[in-house]
Amino acid sequence: MRSATSHFTVDHHYSLPSPATVTRAGTESSSGQSEVAAFHSFVGTYGVNYGRIADNLPPPTEVVKLLQMARIKNVRIFDSDHTVLDAFRNSGLNLAIAIPNGLVKDISATPSKAMDWVNENVRPYYPSTRIVAIIVGNEILGGQDTGLAEALFGAVVNIHDALRAMRLSGRIEVNTPHSEAVFGTSYPPSAGTFRPDLMPYLKPLLDFFSKTGAPFYVNAYPFLAYMSDPEHIDVNYALMKPNAGILDQKTNLHYDNMFEAQIDATYAALEAAGYSDMEVRVSETGWASAGDATEPGATLENARTYNFNLRKRLFLRKGTPYRPKRVVKAFIFALFNEDLKTGPGSERHFGLFKPDGSVSLDLGFKGLTSSSSSIKGWKIARYSATLLSSTFIFLALST
């Protein structure tokens, strides 16, 4: 996640060097012809990001039970951890797995490494683990690492070609999420455009998504936009509460919440780039329930309000003012609070659930109660392991 300014506006205090011409490593199997696939990578409209940068979370087998009880069918993780992949076998849940940013350059440079990655993390699990997407990196474009930006497209295509060799390219989507930093303008929504200096990186990706039938993933955070300028942004507009909203003078469309304005700014940017038919899908959105003293908007009440209103809005299965027939789909950030995340305090407080499986934000979900035998067993095992480890350390120091 990144900091943001009003309505998705980009922080212009830095600029990337002039990008080199982006080339892809590997074969040319995806160039020059349409490969539109009928991906079924998202059921309904609601999903969740399952981050695990924490030392107090339940094991993945319990997380699967929690997701099933909450009836959340779409899950995104940020790696390809095999304990998670095993836990999701025969669960009926859609799982998007990921290649971390640190692996992108190697996979881009060497097609065989893409094949190795797919052989290790997809082939042994699919289809019993319903892997529906491979997410290559996160928020790479708009960052400071030009080499990583140049490598992104090659990694995406090499992973796609590895799937293609296994006849899975029409079943498993390959994609990459973007932050608000890819936008040059975003307010009003109809003025949305991508940064010109990023187009040499974005254009081949957009061509690829268009050919494969994949959506454009964007991380949309009204929370971050509000936190960047609380004096000028109505918190009710950010929280989807009743407010005066804004009128886009160009389209004469009225927006009563920032979430839809952010999505439509993305649609406008895609249209300006020549991709008006591409779907926008929200890969992350959420609101922190606590934070530092400098983050007054990060409160439990605000987090509950945003997530409740968002869930209610998604369940209506409707589009946005600019794309009324395009049903909005979103992954909520996040399933749990993650106590080991660095950065502002808010980074550790986006969870819908507490580590014991009970509900953190009362949105109508069913949780795993702390009195359940499975959770009790996990806690006892965890306590016993800690006690045993402490005993060994004590004995070692005593001898």
- What are the pLDDT digits (tens) for 128-139? 999 999 999 999
Judge if 214 and 350 occupy the same domain. yes
Q: Are residues 256 and 327 in the same domain?
A: yes
Q: Is 323 helix (H, G, I), strand (E, B) or coil?
A: coil
Q: What is the pLDDT of residues 57-101, one digit of tens each?
A: 999 999 999 999 999 999 999 999 999 999 999 999 999 999 999
Q: Are residues 351 and 387 in the same domain?
A: no
Are 351 and 278 found together in one domain? yes
**Could you tell me which of 352, 320, 314, 382 has the C-alpha nearest to residue 44?**
314
Are 380 and 364 in the same domain?
Answer: no
Q: In the annotation, is 338 catalytic?
A: no
Residue 207 located in a structural domain: yes
Residue 277, Cβ density class (10 Å: 0-12 exposed, 13-18 middle, ≥19 buried):
exposed
In a domain, 1, yes or no: no
Say if residue 116 is in the same domain as residue 35: yes
Under the banding of pLDDT at 50, 70 and 90, the label for residue 341 is very high
Same domain, 384 and 266: no
Cα dihedral 67, 72, 77, 81 in deg (nearest 10): 40
Structural domain range at position 277:
6-368
Query: How many Cβ atoms from other residues are within 10 Å of residue 195's Cβ?
Result: 20
In a domain, 205, yes or no: yes
> Looking at 62, 180, 260, 284, which residue is catalytic?
284
| Residue written as token pair 């200096």 | 197
Question: What total of structural domains would you count in the chain?
Answer: 2
Q: pTM of this prediction?
A: 0.86
Two tokens, residue 104: 């992108």
Residues 395 and 303 in one domain: no
Q: 88 and 136 share a domain?
A: yes
| DSSP string covering 252-294 | TEEES-HHHHHHHHHHHHHHHTT-TTPPEEEEEE---S---TT
Report pLDDT digits (tens) over 64-73: 999 999 999 9
Active site residue 180: no
Q: Are 316 and 399 part of one and the same domain? A: no
Quick check: is 151 in a domain? yes
Residues 155 and 288 grouped into a single domain: yes
CATH number of domain containing 31: 3.20.20.80
Which is the catalytic residue, given 139, 180, 260, 279?
139
381 and 235 belong to one structural domain: no
Report the b/e string of 30-49 with b at 16+ CB within 10 A. beeeeeebebebbbebbbbb
Q: 13-27, 120-134, 177-191, 312-326: which range is least confident on average?
A: 13-27
